[in-house]
Chain A
């Protein structure tokens, strides 16, 4: 087998004979990403209604369903209606701390069968297996959102304690709750925020995965016919809470 040393040496040997095609540079990274991220947020705080509107248009364009509610208290009603329409009641949810609110009692009052994911203490393999089976059998997955990108209608979710990756993946219907603090305008801004999370060490969570979700799972692999819900959810609903989630 080739070793790391041999492998890199073969690259260096080739690089010595290579002529550069043109003089080129990589993208300029933000020098102080945290400070730039603050500037972006301040600027967005003033223009958020327009950005939210752009998000709605793009999110609906990719097949998402958008809701706007005044306060968190209205979220269970939206979820309850979805459950009644689909005659389904199994719901897995991020842990209340990750979601920013404890919605379980209100959801249960509306007939949903709620499984809240654990806060994040290390779970034994058997317990993880059990939770995975519950998630795979659930009808709805309820999550928060770390960034909502207006340019593309994308929801960005960071995995970690109390916020499993599977909640937004295994159930056929994903419901995401977000507020103004998650809104950004462009992929470029996402770049700044990702750099800030990475370099200034303050990501929303410390899991191994960041997922960009742009609408429901889809394929066009059979005769280019657009079909939703291949492996991921067939439906994605985003609920915007005007007054903010954490009050």
Chain B
């Protein structure tokens, strides 16, 4: 999706997603499958629950001494001959990477899947500087060819059919292509193999970085993370500051739950621990290693209301279980990070104003918090975010007025009783079988997507009072 689509309001984006029959089916199949795989993985793993608590505690403890762990990480990477860069904003991060690419004379950059590089829109910046970025994760490769954005954190192209992918490849490589995942994967392998061997620059994110050893950790299933960190002469890893973990012992705790939460695997196929550039005695590996530490709104949340979101592992489990995500998919959210955690991350990176619609794109059912391997209380933060949206007066005025009135009403029993009687009369033209599904004028905003129960003929209080043999 291009940023231009953000001009379309969330409600409309969600509306078109709901009408897209393939998307609906793909979302149901994918989210159901991921949910089942995750559940089975944890059923088989009794120590999982305790490890989730452990993992969360490690994240929190790390944030409590973040400066210390980052300093240790930086010192260790520099000792290994690597370079560390500091980016306050996405512009700075883009400039740093483009600068490294220019200085080393890179013409093509191979990338392994990284949400952080998506977040800073790195590809556009590289293209602009005359460097060709090539996404190498199969899903990312597909959406790069289609000029789209990922629709899921870990399965970026779940919104595409094999037929669509075959058409895409057919157009790109100017030949007839069979709509068979096996065939399509083989074509991508051959195409990308060439690119891996030619590219000068490898760009990755990082799932973790171990302070104690200066290790950057990449988790992939396809092996592109290994390619990107072994073949080009320069490797740049871009990482949010919150990804640092203290020690290898801590790392193992996260590895034990990450893949189970994401895809139900015990471990992803490849977990790659990279420590700096190639050693003299090695045949392959980059001559230069760079780590770019990214702030982009994260640091402000150390003491902010979204601090908990800094523990996120980007596993995608909360997307799969979210009834809203299940219905509308990733693109309708309109930003890099979709799903419930995506709303919080968008608020963190782009500011509260950017989520004034999205803050309500959740049913607050709590499924996300249950699924989250590090037990992030997403609903709590969403509620706080809604309140902030209201207080900053960036919510629609009808909603603000309505909720202010409701608050008054609910705290004044006499007034409430009066309103109930008035409501009984006023609702008459709109009630059908005990519910109101259409209200007139601007009030229709409320009933367009939900029914309102009609005011009962006798309220609970009225009946209770009658039971007790007293008049209200």
- A8–B68 CA distance with the chains assembled, in angstroms: 9
Within 8 A of B (CB), among A219-246: 219-225, 227, 229-233
- B184 interface contact, C-beta 8 A: yes
- A42 interface contact, C-beta 8 A: no
A234 to chain B, nearest CB (A): 9
Q: Decide: A231 and B136 in contact? CB cutoff 8 A.
A: yes
- A131–B241 CA distance with the chains assembled, in angstroms: 38
Within 8 A of B (CB), among A96-145: 117-118, 120-123, 128, 131-132, 136
- B251 interface contact, C-beta 8 A: yes
- B161 interface contact, C-beta 8 A: yes
Number of A-B contacts (CB under 8 A): 271
Given contacts A2-B88, A136-B197, contact A222 B157 (CB under 8 A): yes
Q: Decide: A164 and B284 in contact? CB cutoff 8 A.
A: yes
- A215–B266 CA distance with the chains assembled, in angstroms: 11
Could you mark each residue 149-189 of chain A with 1 if its beta carbon is under 8 Å from any beta carbon of chain B, else 0?
A: 00111100001110011100100000000000000000110
Given contacts A161-B282, A217-B221, contact A230 B302 (CB under 8 A): no
Q: Decide: A18 and B86 in contact? CB cutoff 8 A.
A: no
Within 8 A of A (CB), among B265-286: 265-285
- A123–B304 CA distance with the chains assembled, in angstroms: 52
Cross-interface CB contact of A26 among B61, B265, B285, B308, cutoff 8 Å: B61
Cross-interface CB contact of B88 among A7, A22, A218, cutoff 8 Å: A7
CB contacts (< 8 Å) of B293 on chain A: these are: 7
- B156 interface contact, C-beta 8 A: yes
Cross-interface CB contact of B266 among A12, A121, A152, A232, cutoff 8 Å: A152
Give 14 CB contacts A-B under 8 Å.
A4-B74, A14-B303, A24-B64, A26-B58, A62-B266, A152-B267, A160-B282, A198-B212, A209-B273, A209-B274, A212-B255, A212-B267, A224-B30, A230-B185
- A1–B85 CA distance with the chains assembled, in angstroms: 9
Cross-interface CB contact of A212 among B213, B224, B270, cutoff 8 Å: B270
B250 to chain A, nearest CB (A): 5
CB contacts (< 8 Å) of A198 on chain B: these are: 212-213, 248
- A227–B58 CA distance with the chains assembled, in angstroms: 35
Q: Decide: B274 and A218 in contact? CB cutoff 8 A.
A: no
Q: Decide: B246 and A26 in contact? CB cutoff 8 A.
A: yes
- B71 interface contact, C-beta 8 A: yes
Could you mark each residue 210-240 of chain B with 1 if its beta carbon is under 8 Å from any beta carbon of chain A, else 0?
A: 0011000000011110110111000000000
- A79–B387 CA distance with the chains assembled, in angstroms: 65
- B417 interface contact, C-beta 8 A: no
Q: Decide: A21 and B230 in contact? CB cutoff 8 A.
A: no
- A159–B229 CA distance with the chains assembled, in angstroms: 13
- A146 interface contact, C-beta 8 A: no
Q: Decide: B139 and A221 in contact? CB cutoff 8 A.
A: yes
Cross-interface CB contact of A206 among B96, B265, B281, B304, cutoff 8 Å: B281
- A211 interface contact, C-beta 8 A: yes
B33 to chain A, nearest CB (A): 6
- A170–B250 CA distance with the chains assembled, in angstroms: 31
- B19 interface contact, C-beta 8 A: no
- A207–B281 CA distance with the chains assembled, in angstroms: 7
Q: Decide: B266 and A1 in contact? CB cutoff 8 A.
A: no
Q: Decide: A222 and B138 in contact? CB cutoff 8 A.
A: yes
CB contacts (< 8 Å) of B142 on chain A: these are: 221-222
Segment at the A interface, from B3-11, B122-130, B187-195: B187-195
Q: Please name the residue on chain B nearest to A232 by beta carbon.
A: B223
- A49–B263 CA distance with the chains assembled, in angstroms: 30
B288 to chain A, nearest CB (A): 12
Interface residues of B (CB under 8 A from A): 26, 29-30, 33, 54, 56-58, 60-64, 66-67, 70-71, 74, 80, 84-88, 92, 95-96, 136-139, 142, 155-158, 160-162, 165, 181-182, 184-185, 188-189, 192-193, 196-197, 212-213, 221-224, 226-227, 229-231, 241, 246-253, 255-256, 263, 265-285, 293, 295, 299-300, 302-304, 307-308
The 7 closest A-B pairs by CB, nearest first: A232-B223, A18-B303, A221-B139, A191-B252, A212-B271, A17-B303, A230-B222
- A44 interface contact, C-beta 8 A: no
- A65 interface contact, C-beta 8 A: no
Among B136, B138, B139, B221, find the residue whose CB has the most chain A CB atoms closer than 10 A: B221
- A82 interface contact, C-beta 8 A: no
- A121–B136 CA distance with the chains assembled, in angstroms: 32
- A218–B30 CA distance with the chains assembled, in angstroms: 17
Given contacts A8-B70, A208-B277, A232-B222, contact A224 B283 (CB under 8 A): no
- A204 interface contact, C-beta 8 A: no
Segment at the B interface, from A27-35, A66-74, A83-91: A27-35
Cross-interface CB contact of A187 among B30, B252, B307, B308, cutoff 8 Å: B252
CB contacts (< 8 Å) of B56 on chain A: these are: 24
CB contacts (< 8 Å) of A20 on chain B: these are: 60, 64
- A55–B144 CA distance with the chains assembled, in angstroms: 39
- A218–B263 CA distance with the chains assembled, in angstroms: 12
Given contacts A11-B67, A211-B271, A231-B192, contact A218 B221 (CB under 8 A): yes
- A210 interface contact, C-beta 8 A: yes
Q: Decide: B185 and A227 in contact? CB cutoff 8 A.
A: yes
- A72–B57 CA distance with the chains assembled, in angstroms: 46
Q: Decide: B274 and A208 in contact? CB cutoff 8 A.
A: yes
Q: Decide: B86 and A4 in contact? CB cutoff 8 A.
A: yes
Q: Please name the residue on chain A nearest to B140 by beta carbon.
A: A221
Q: Decide: B158 and A224 in contact? CB cutoff 8 A.
A: yes
- A30–B165 CA distance with the chains assembled, in angstroms: 49
Q: Please name the residue on chain A nearest to B81 by beta carbon.
A: A208
Q: Decide: B252 and A164 in contact? CB cutoff 8 A.
A: no
A107 to chain B, nearest CB (A): 20
- A104–B247 CA distance with the chains assembled, in angstroms: 40
- A17–B307 CA distance with the chains assembled, in angstroms: 12
- A217–B223 CA distance with the chains assembled, in angstroms: 6
Q: Decide: A191 and B189 in contact? CB cutoff 8 A.
A: no
